[in-house]
Structure 1
Amino acid sequence: MTPVYVRYDSAGTILEIFTRDQPHMVLVRHDDQEPLIAKYLRDPLGLEERFPPLKKWQLWLAALELEPPIAKADILATINDMPDMSFKDKETVRIMIEDAQQYSREDPRIDLLAVAMGIPPNQMDDLWRWAACIEPL
C-alpha cells in the first residue's frame, strides 16, 4: 500500500497520478490499492473497458458461432500454409494461439488471426465485445 497523489478534472475523472505531492497542484491523496486508482494505474488509457482481454476459451467459442464456424485447428493450418510468413513468425503465432491463456485485442497478431479467419477488423471488434460477455456454464 503506497500513497499516491491524484489530480482530477472538474467532472472527477483522473487526469494524472503522482508518487509524491506536487507543489502548486490540487491533488488528493489515495492508496494505490484502491480499486479505481489501481485500475487507472494498470490501464490509464481505458483500453480494458474498450476491449477487455478474452480468455482463450471465449475467443474460440466465439469463432464457433461464426457462419461458417471456425475451428482453431483450421486457423493453425491456414497460418501454416501462408507462404509469405517465415517459420519463426508462423511458430510465434502458433504459440500465441495455443499457449496464451488470454488474448488482447490490441495485439497485432489478433488482426492476423482475423485475416486468416476472413473477418474484417470492424467485425472482429464486434465479435470481441460479444465474446467478452460469454460466461462459463
Structure 2
Amino acid sequence: MTTVYVRYDSVGTILEIFFRDQPDMILVAHDDKEPAIAKYLRGPLGREDRFPPLKKWQLWLAALELEPPIVKADILTTVSGMADMSFKDKETIRIMIEDAQDYSREDPRIDLLAVAMGIPPNQMDDLWRWAAEFRPL
C-alpha cells in the first residue's frame, strides 16, 4: 500500500495523482490500491475503458483458449435452441456470428453471445482485451 494524493474537479473526477502532498493544493489522501485510483494510475486517459474492434478470427481463437474451449458451431446450436428468443433475434445473432468481419464490444448482442458462451460480462471484457492482442502469424 502506498498513499497517494488526489486532486479532483468539482464533480469528483480525478484530475491528477501525486505521490507526495503538494503545498497550496487541495488533495485527498488515498491508498493506491483503491479500484478507482489503481485504474487511473494504469490509464489516466481512460483507454482501459475502450474496446478495440475484434476481427472474427480473434474472437473465435480466444474462445478456443477458454477452458473448456468454446466452438462457434456449439454457440450457434445453443442460440438456435433458446426458447425465449424470437426467430428474428436468433437469425440476427446467427448472421452476426457468421457474417460479421469484425465485432464491437459495445454491440449489445455481444452480451447475448457471452451468455450463450457462459461468460460473465467482466470476464468477456478481459477476454476481449486479451483477444485484441492476437496478431496474424
For Structure 1 versus Structure 2, the TM-score category normalised by the shorter chain is 0.5 to 0.7
Measured after TM superposition, the shift of residue 47 of structure 1 is 7.5
Q: 1:111 to 1:47 in 2, by over 3 A?
A: farther
- Report the equivalent of 2:117: 117
Specify the code of the residue in structure 2 equivalent to 1:106.
Answer: E
Within 5 Å, give how 1:28-47 maps onto structure 2.
none
Match runs of 1:117-136 below 5 Å: 117-136=117-136
Task: Give the equivalent residue in structure 2 for 1:86.
Answer: 86
RMSD: 1.6
What is the TM-score normalised by the length of structure 1? 0.65
Q: How does 1:1-137 map to 2 (within 5 A)?
A: 50-137=50-137
- Could you give the per-residue CA deviations for residues 98-119 of structure 1, whole angstroms, max 9, x where no partner exists? 0000000000000000000000
Distance 1:52 1:136, change over 3 A: same
Please name the residue that 1:4 is paired with.
none
Partner amino acid for 2:134?
I
Instruction: Please state how far the C-alpha of 1:86 moved relative to its aligned partner.
Output: 0.5
Q: Distance in 1 between matches of 2:48 and 2:77?
A: 30
Q: Offset of 1:73 from its aligned partner?
A: 0.2
Q: If the length of structure 2 is used for normalisation, what is the TM-score?
A: 0.65
Sequence identity (%) = 86
Residues 1:47 and 1:89: Cα distance change in structure 2 (over 3 Å): farther
2:79 and 2:90 mapped to 1: Cα distance? 6
Gaps of 5+ in 2: 1-45
Q: Give CA deviations for 1:33-92 in whole Å, capped at 9, x if unaligned.
A: xxxxxxxxxxxxx88971000000000000000000000000000000000001010000
Q: SS where residue 105 of structure 1 aligns?
A: coil
How far, CA to CA, are the matches of 2:78 and 2:121 in structure 1? Answer: 18
Aligned letter for 1:136? P
From the superposition, tell whether residues 73 and 49 of structure 1 become closer, same or farther in structure 2 (CA, over 3 Å): same
| Residue type of the alignment partner of 1:68 | P
Q: Taking structure 1 as reference, are residues 57 and 48 closer, same or farther at Cα in structure 2, changes over 3 Å only?
A: farther
Distance 2:49 2:79 in 1: 30
Distance across 1 between alignment mates of 2:107 and 2:118: 17
User: Which whole-Å CA distance do the structure 2 matches of 1:48 and 1:129 have between them?
Assistant: 9
Task: Return the alpha-carbon distance in structure 1 between the equivalents of residues 119 and 107 of structure 2.
Answer: 16
Secondary structure in 2 aligned to 1:111?
A: helix
